[in-house]
Chain A
């Protein structure tokens, strides 16, 4: 069994973390054979003073968390400038993604924009074509909202079958942060949208000149022009100094380094909304304007990068769920490949178009598991299986794969990305 396993073995770090505990818990024994060195040895951090307050003016994670980083899949793209990397979902808990771990997707690399030299222009079918500085932007009334951003291509590599071993790679094109910004509605109001203005073209200042057409209804509903994430300035990778937030809709529309908003009477049919981010179906026809992200969930632990290292007994199964159409009141979990399902416990804030956290606790007997999670959103939509999706869409869609994910966990606690009947 071990010889055939080609997924990711328990990491040395994860193994060390669990070693002490397992030593004390073998076969239910609660008596230690010998005194624990972690207790008996005086550790250097007990004896010696640590660094002072100014040693780390911008705090970073512990040295023992060094492998909790975004990772890419080099074979996916020709080079790293127009490419993507992935959020390490299996290392996170709760619902908020730390800023430095939010996945990146760039089409022309990271634009290093000087905010003093940055302008936001509104032009087109408006009463007054306007230029705003960043300082102007800060003088509009602000709002705070937590939203997930999911790339339309998240899980896109899995359309034809199980391919990548790790939820970081299968589901990591997503992050969930609190944005501070100004409603797009307020900026458009300042310009005065003409009656025939039905669409907004948002454009970035990066070397790809990223553009997307957004219907006016959405622009006036809940879009934000955001300059903070999780309380601090946007990271350059996420569009510093200002990005568009399009809640619940595919990430490509959330224009980073936002510099222009044009009002028009019809969509612009830009490259990213015609040749890309359209869903090719089995019959050769393609859906366009598939903006909303369907309800989806994934178990983050255990998973291929986060195997069970503690042996039999109490096991926390956890994961995240989200929907572009509302909240997630319920997630079901199965450990037997979908013969029997159990309602998981939702925990933490339940916010509109935000990630939700779920837990399901079991007493693991050491037998093989086939783990799945199934999200229900507030519209009544239930996350479909991958085969249900394929029956409607075929195999060539690339985008919007929200099918149920399966992890096979073996007796050693190692997990593999599989599909089941």
Chain B
């Protein structure tokens, strides 16, 4: 806390008044109804405030996990692709490659419950029942070796769980530690004898060029530095290989449009895979989707709305697919695809062209 804030906080303590000196109100707004507050007030604090009544065990949690979470976070919370790793990393925090997981880093269990409940599964937020959230939280504790496989978590034993790294956080001390070092007179002349270049970005070579992308990893969606970017930067193999496309009598692909579509497909990738080795994730794999019957990709559990539409003969022609992509929920009430839709027709055309470039 800055000196300024300490001053303010001190003044409030001295006067003993409320934090805010009440001024005249304008009488704006209306009283919130209790059920309205209850509908939005879902946050959970370390002291347990906000926890709903409920419980869930590790076994149940594993079932929910495999259905709703493992596509991104791995079967054992070890992470898949570049999605967050949630288990492991013990003892790694002071190493060259710290792995910040729920077990190795997170100081409070309430944060796990709160975040799953408010934001997960990614793309289907606030869809879980309290017992499912308790079960998933229990499974994550188990994955991190904090509890055994018989464990059941509930609102009653929630505060008994101790997080391994809880003691290793401290409040901002930059003013005390860094200001004395940095708030000093700056040298202006003859500040050093010589200068040499010690590191060069060109050697690492990870700067994006227009349209190009390189692989690599980033912890949990934050802008972290890859420890050794050059080593862990496999080229992303997404460019469709046109030569290998079967010579079906189809109009040749518009490669500029395909390239545009590849870019916009990034927003689909959290749920859909396409290309060699594509598998079903939150959504079905999309190889060969253009021209195919709706709702028939092997092994994917479609909504009944989508399955019925396919049974009734819906074919994903470019026109039908475009209409679906423009507004999935309007096009097909009941679809599982939780996606707002694409407004720009040119962008839809790109996506369809891109999908066309992946035949069965």
Contacts and interface: CB of A to CB of B under 8 A. Distances in A.
Contact of B20 (A112, A220, A275, A276): A220
Given A129-B32, A339-B192, A340-B190, A201 B43 contact: yes
A68 to B, nearest CB: 13
B317 to A, nearest CB: 27
B225 interface: yes
Given A153-B223, A274-B108, A162 B186 contact: no
Contact of A209 (B119, B195, B209, B219): B119
A421 B196 contact: yes
Contacts of A154: 223
Given A139-B26, A153-B223, A419 B198 contact: yes
A55 interface: no
B150 interface: no
Given A77-B221, A285-B169, A165 B207 contact: yes
Among B47, B81, B224, residue most surrounded by chain A Cβ atoms (within 10 Å): B224
Among A159, A160, A282, residue most surrounded by chain B Cβ atoms (within 10 Å): A160
A389 B49 CA distance: 38
Interface residues on A, range: 35 or more
Interface in A86-101: none
Interface stretch (B62-70, B93-101, B304-312): B93-101
Contact of B270 (A79, A139, A163, A284): A79
A283 B169 CA distance: 11
Contacts of A15: none
Contacts of B2: 292, 325
B46 A269 contact: yes
A217 B8 contact: yes
Interface of B: 1-2, 5, 8-9, 12, 17-20, 22-23, 25-26, 28-32, 36-37, 40-47, 49, 72, 81-83, 93-94, 96, 98, 100, 102, 105-108, 110-111, 114-115, 118-119, 122-123, 125-126, 168-174, 177-179, 181-184, 186-192, 194-209, 213-227, 229, 233, 236, 266-267, 269-270, 340
28 contacts: A74-B208, A76-B223, A79-B267, A108-B125, A151-B223, A163-B206, A164-B201, A166-B207, A193-B19, A216-B20, A217-B5, A270-B111, A270-B115, A271-B111, A271-B114, A280-B98, A285-B170, A340-B191, A341-B191, A342-B188, A381-B183, A382-B182, A382-B183, A388-B181, A395-B96, A418-B199, A421-B192, A421-B194
Interface of A: 4-8, 71-84, 107-109, 112, 121-124, 128-133, 136, 139-140, 151, 153-154, 156-166, 169, 173, 185, 188-190, 192-195, 197-198, 201, 203, 207-209, 211, 215-218, 220-221, 259-260, 262, 264, 266, 268-271, 274-276, 278, 280, 282-292, 294, 304, 325, 332, 336-342, 370, 374, 376, 379-384, 388, 392, 395-396, 398, 408, 416-421
